Structure 1
């Protein structure tokens, strides 16, 4: 008989259908910059930024929008000389932006890194349920000196006469409230 194995620290791999759907979505996000000749290269960056929610992904989105604006300015607004040098520079920039947007869409829209399972707490529950023993506070994980267990809660005893007086006062308040609300006759 073999010893039980500890559970894996990673989630199980996705099924074949999930992987296929992920691949199709990745291809579709990657096709957007290619089909639009780079004009919509920022759209997959929006998807990546919303999915990842990291500052780096938002900076990439800002760079993609700036690159698209730069591409439009260079391709459509810069006049070329008789040798076509300006068009060549604009075309090279547009091509490099198209390649960058396509590669970023392929890498960014793919599966993320393997997610780890959350680990157990490094120290015991500092607030145990009463009646199930007590725990020392602060726990030894904090590197403190040995401490004493929680003290038992002390509830002061209320004299019987005071308890009856409080109950009578509450009943009188409830009767008065019933009278205000139009309920049963206040007795």
Structure 2
């Protein structure tokens, strides 16, 4: 492995304990501000997709059906991962009307597995892309679309649940406590 390949692994090893410790306590959830992250991520990822197409030496061949299928798969799989991650987040309504959210450790582990999987897939797919008639730009872009799908759908899922709780409903994925 090269130093460029070690850097993400070292960053994950440093960040993972910090993130897990930080997520031990519930944090205040503000449904009115949940649109901010997707509103920032979508244009930034759009710029990243545009930027990768402008790289010198990049594969500028037009996307074929396989490339578009990879992009769609990345977005759909990211949406599924985001939905799952949003469902795994515990949201509670407190007596003062505030919402508290606590991310599941499984959601954090999912992100780490996805980052490691991305590196592994990239290492496998990119050297063999020409042999397998795959567009390397589409492979990289599919990973970016995965992130977009995951963030947007997670926020939508959490917003729906938070709105339900604020209107007096219950969180559908949490079992109700038995009445004594």
TM-score, with normalisation over the residues of structure 2?
Answer: 0.35
Normalized per residue, the structure richer in helix is 2
Normalized per residue, the structure richer in strand is 2
Structure of greater Rg: 1
